[in-house]
Amino acid sequence: MAELAYRLSKVQKPKLSVAIDDTIGNKETRGATINGIQVHAVRLPGHTLAVETVFGLKGEKLILRHDSGESAEPYVKGVLLAIKNIDTFKGLRRGLDSIMEF
């Protein structure tokens, strides 16, 4: 999630219509601000991973969501691809897309 927040912050900084300190509820439930992007994390039994990104302006909302299911199975092919190509680069790589051939 931090990687997505970083990349989105390079496109455009969000415009908050309500300051985070002015929101109602426990401070712990408001998430964290990473590179100007508000990020929340939820941990539930039986819920492995989901990523949801919400874009919006007045009167409109676009939601992108990815659910991985109840296991790490959706990530096995990516891990195997990274292992297979580990000897083709030096140094740190961020993101599976940095080692994929298109």
pLDDT of residue 97: 80
Residue where the block lists tokens 């297979």: 84
pLDDT of residue 1: 57
- Cα atoms found within 13 Å of the Cα of residue 45, Cβ hemisphere only: 0
Q: How far apart are CA 86 and CA 98, in angstroms?
A: 12
Question: What is the overall mean pLDDT for the chain?
Answer: 77
In this predicted model, what pLDDT tens digit does every residue of 27-76 receive, in sequence order? 766 777 777 777 777 667 776 677 888 888 889 999 998 887 677 777 78
Looking at the chain, the whole-number percentage of residues with pLDDT higher than 90 is 5
Q: How much is the average pLDDT of 16-32?
A: 74
Q: How far apart are CA 12 and CA 57, in angstroms?
A: 13
The answer, yes or no, to whether residue 80 has pLDDT greater than 60, is yes
